Amino acid sequence: MTLQTRKYATERVERYRRKLGFSYRGVELTDARRWGHCTRDRKLVFNWQLAALPKHLADYVVLHEISHLSEFSHNNRHRMKIFSLCPDFNDREQELRNIVPMRS
């Protein structure tokens, strides 16, 4: 799963980078209780199980973390950025809350 997730996450981030024109310092995988996060030094970190999510939810996680590259906190600007990238993000967030990553 780790190789699948690394490939999936890297491909999606690169696809969005070409489309949206942002910079980042790399993609990392972790065994955490959350699906992803963005570090202050612009690394995108995803749970190693990301690729097991339904595609629309995995894409939402990637878009959510990418949006932190321009707005680090969870404020209104962040939510508007996500909305511009994924208009149904509220539905996806709600669905994602029902799926908790397992710890290895």
In the chain, the domains with their CATH numbers are 2-97 (3.30.2010.10)
The C-alpha atoms of residue 82 and residue 80 are separated, in whole angstroms, by 5
The C-alpha atoms of residue 96 and residue 89 are separated, in whole angstroms, by 10
pLDDT tens digits, residue range 78-99?
999 899 989 999 999 999 999 9
Beta bridge partner(s), residue 36: 46
Consecutive H or E run containing 36: strand 36-38
User: What 3-state DSSP class applies to 54?
Assistant: coil
The C-alpha atoms of residue 76 and residue 86 are separated, in whole angstroms, by 15
pLDDT tens digits, residue range 8-63?
999 999 999 999 899 999 999 999 889 999 999 999 999 999 999 999 999 999 99
Q: Which amino acid is at 12?
A: R
Nearest to 39 by CA among 49, 51, 26: 26
